[in-house]
Amino acid sequence: STVSPSLSHPQLLAVVISNFAAEEKEKFRKLFLHKREALRHAYRVLAGRTGITFDDFLAFMEHYRPRMPEWQVMCVFKALHVNPNDQHSELREAEFYDFYEVQNLKWREV
């Protein structure tokens, strides 16, 4: 006589997928929190009283992406600074949190 397993193949597959998804979700959460903490620290180092000026952002980018042309750095800065009601030219902390998404955009002169 054979002993049947307690889980069928589809059930076992569902358990494996569920565990894998939970592990991937946890990895993503940790990476997201690590990036956010890194941005929070960078903002505190770079920011003046009202935010990060373009000159300070340019100096930061010269270390982060040294070969990026200044016009592309300006595009990244402008893409981050999206609040039309904000009359200041400095980046706010909430805007700076989108840095990792915006810095990977491809820019070209037209």
Query: What's the one-letter identity of residue 19?
Result: N
Instruction: Give the range of the structural domain holding residue 28, as residue numbers without chain letter.
Output: 9-102
**In a domain? residue 74:** yes
- What CATH code is carried by the domain that includes residue 17? 1.10.238
pLDDT at 1: 47
pLDDT digits (tens, 9 = 90+) for 14-63: 767 777 777 777 777 777 678 888 899 999 999 988 899 999 999 999 99
pTM: 0.68
User: What percent of the chain shows pLDDT beyond 70?
Assistant: 80
Q: Please count the structural domains in the chain.
A: 1
Task: For residues 37 and 50, give the distance between their C-alpha atoms in angstroms, rounded to a whole number.
Answer: 20
3-state class (DSSP) for residue 65: coil
**In a domain? residue 3:** no
**In a domain? residue 110:** no
